[in-house]
Amino acid sequence: MASLILSPAEQDYIIRGVESGFRADGRGSLDRREVSLRTGMISQANGSARCRIGNLGVGTDVLVGVKAEVNSWTPGEPEDLGSIVCNVECSPSAAQEFEGRGAEEINVELTQLLDRILNGPQSGLDLKKLCIIPKQAYWVLHIDALVLDVKGSIVDTLVWATRAALMSTSLPRVVVETIGDEMGNMQAEFDVVDDPEDLTPLEGAENLPISVTFSQIGKRYVVDASEQEEVVTQAKLTVAVSPVMEICAIQKGGMFRGFPPSLLAEILEIAQRIAREELTRFDVHYAQAKSHLSSQADEPSTGSTFLVQF
């Protein structure tokens, strides 16, 4: 994903800087950039969030929408669980190489990574609560992410935005009735309440993990790599940590180098500390986003609420 071309001198400058603990934009090797988070801007979706990670109003921008759909059960599927389907797409507006089929590889990589974090008990979501009637009907949550701009650190922004979107997701209330037919068999039937005000929030979304990506540059590593730093990154490690400090997923990226085991052990230890700080930071931003949304509830919603103050 190297659309940025750096001269050998610039690359050397970044590598030696990181090895001495300095970064091109003045951050320390473990410092992360500013975050802008907004939720609920897509009225047709059950939950949505937009997250931008970057300084000075420019950064990696990801928009996530969550849509819930009722699916009929088919034999072979788990009998009492709902399911989650992820899809990540990098928009051609983010980088020139994403035009046409250029984004196919990275779309697959990000989709599978998100799926690995969310599908299963490691996500913290209670999939049993998404079941409406066992062996008959269940909720499917379609999580669609659109990457609008890329300035380094896509995975972390994606997971932030997905976490915010799922935390702000609310499903319509479902009324389940058991009625008997003429044979005397009890059949369960459900009805989705159509009232847009009658919603139940998604349970377990606050247990979702947050991800921290470590980029190995030279002999040291940095967190939240910028676009220039990603060009010289030789290997990456993404660690997803849940609020109870459990490791939910680890994936190595980058094809130029491997990690020495001592560096790996150091990274895994630091990942917990950084994840704890990130989760606190997330809660602050999410609360701000929610209060911003409720303060705007009386204003007529126009297209400009999407762009302004972001």
Residues that bind other proteins (CB under 8 A): 75, 104-105, 108-109, 111-112, 116, 120-122, 181-183, 185, 235, 237, 242, 245-261, 264-265, 268-269, 271-272
How would you classify the pairing of strands 35-39 and 47-53? Answer: antiparallel
DSSP 287-308: HHHHHHHHHTTTSPP-THHHHT
**Closest approach of other proteins to the CB of residue 230, in Å:** 15
**Closest approach of other proteins to the CB of residue 20, in Å:** 23
**Closest approach of other proteins to the CB of residue 71, in Å:** 18
DSSP annotation of 55 reads S
**Closest approach of other proteins to the CB of residue 124, in Å:** 9
Contact 214, 271 (CB under 8 A): yes
Nearer to other proteins (CB atom), residue 182 or residue 195: 182
Nearer to other proteins (CB atom), residue 31 or residue 246: 246
Please calculate the CA angle 143-149-152 and round it to the nearest 5 degrees: 100
Nearer to other proteins (CB atom), residue 6 or residue 247: 247
DSSP annotation of 120 reads S
Nearer to other proteins (CB atom), residue 116 or residue 129: 116
What phi, psi does 230 have (nearest 5°)?
A: -70, -30
- Could you give the CA distance from residue 158 to residue 304 in angstroms, rounded to a whole number? 23
**Closest approach of other proteins to the CB of residue 308, in Å:** 36
CA atoms within 13 A on the CB side of 310: 20
Nearer to other proteins (CB atom), residue 107 or residue 157: 107
**Closest approach of other proteins to the CB of residue 278, in Å:** 16
Q: Quote the tokens at residue 14.
A: 């970044």
Indicate the SS3 state at residue 6.
coil
Nearer to other proteins (CB atom), residue 39 or residue 73: 73
